[in-house]
Chains A and B, each alone.
Chain A
Amino acid sequence: MKSRFVKISTRIKVLSAVAGIVLAGAGAYAATNWVVGVSAGSSGQSQSATISNLSITAVSSPSPTNLLYPGGTGDVIVTISNPNPYPVTITAVQLPTNTTYATGYTTSALTTTQTGCLAATPSAVAWNFATGTSGSSHTLTTPLTVGASGQANNPLAVTLTNDASMGSTSPSACANTFFSLPALTGVTATGGAATSTTTPATDAWTS
């Protein structure tokens, strides 16, 4: 019986490895869930599990301390939800290019766009420290750990201090406007035992 279990387990390992290779080749940040094999340690057996993507959502609370102005930087507020049954720790983010701009909205609900302050205008609002290359990686000052699904500190509200920038050419229509920052191209995150970060948190990347 034990021998049979090991064989099944080995098949799962092989299938999982192949699945991982295929999915990685298809795009490291696909929106779909991943099913991959995970080593169970010294026993040599393995398990398979579903790893779900984190959700990062724009929110208006807590209120940003630093507001954007032409030539300046401002805070970005997010909540991070972790649907997985274990904590997830984020150590870095990957940004779109520095010419991928935010869209302006009339209210914090981000439902009605602000005339004259759109991504295509452009608003000149982008992620701070973004470069001309999509996917540039930026390390958080402090790792963020989102609690397991259904546990405390999930979702985790985070103020990213001065991690948005506004170019000096931003049109005056962008004054007193709320922005939805362009999507991150990825995050560096791992799931596993860790103490969750207390919400609301403050963090940043500074280079």
Chain B
Amino acid sequence: MLGSLAIAPAVDAASNWVVHVASTNSGEAKATVLPAAPASPAAACTSPASNKTIKVTWTAVTHATTYTVYQSTTSATGTYTPVATGVTTTSWTSGTTAGNYWFKVAALIGTTWTSPESAATTENTISASSCAAN
């Protein structure tokens, strides 16, 4: 009868020893860097030109969840303001408001990991009746 008590709760039925882990254990992981700016941004009037819209395209960024498109209406080096956020594809089409336009794009991973803004696209102009590259 006493023999049946020989196996303590910490020992399994196969007579193996149950082993535990020190409480201060840990593992190491690493995070990737912030996303790079989208490469090769381009802007071109959609066809036909009478649509009076500009399509901006860019190269996908690894792990990017959304993109933000910025525009300037003064110059390539002017002030850029966001015109589209949460874009989930690698293109975006403008509105039809007349003006001169330059665009930049930034990638976003998650909610806070933002890339730098891309290089500016070339200029495109929307007039009262058409769209043209400059």
A interface residues, Cβ below 8 angstroms from B? 10, 13-14, 16-17, 19-21, 23-24, 28-31, 34, 36-41, 44, 46, 49, 51-60, 64, 67-72, 74-78, 82, 84, 86, 88, 102, 104, 108, 110, 125, 160, 163-164, 166-172, 174-184, 186-187, 189-192
Contact = CB atoms under 8 A, between A and B. Distances in A.
Contacts of A175: 31-34, 113
Given A76-B29, A86-B17, A178-B31, 4 more contacts: A20-B8, A23-B10, A38-B17, A175-B113
A68 B81 CA distance: 30
Given A46-B6, A54-B20, A192-B17, A169 B112 contact: yes
B25 to A, nearest CB: 4
Say what secondary structure dominates the interface of chain A.
Answer: mixed
Interface of B: 2-3, 5-12, 14-34, 63, 65, 109-114
A190 B12 contact: yes
A190 B19 contact: yes
B14 to A, nearest CB: 7
19 contacts: A16-B6, A17-B5, A19-B8, A29-B20, A67-B31, A67-B32, A68-B30, A68-B32, A70-B110, A71-B110, A77-B28, A78-B28, A163-B27, A175-B33, A175-B113, A177-B30, A181-B26, A187-B19, A189-B21
Given A24-B10, A71-B110, A59 B20 contact: no
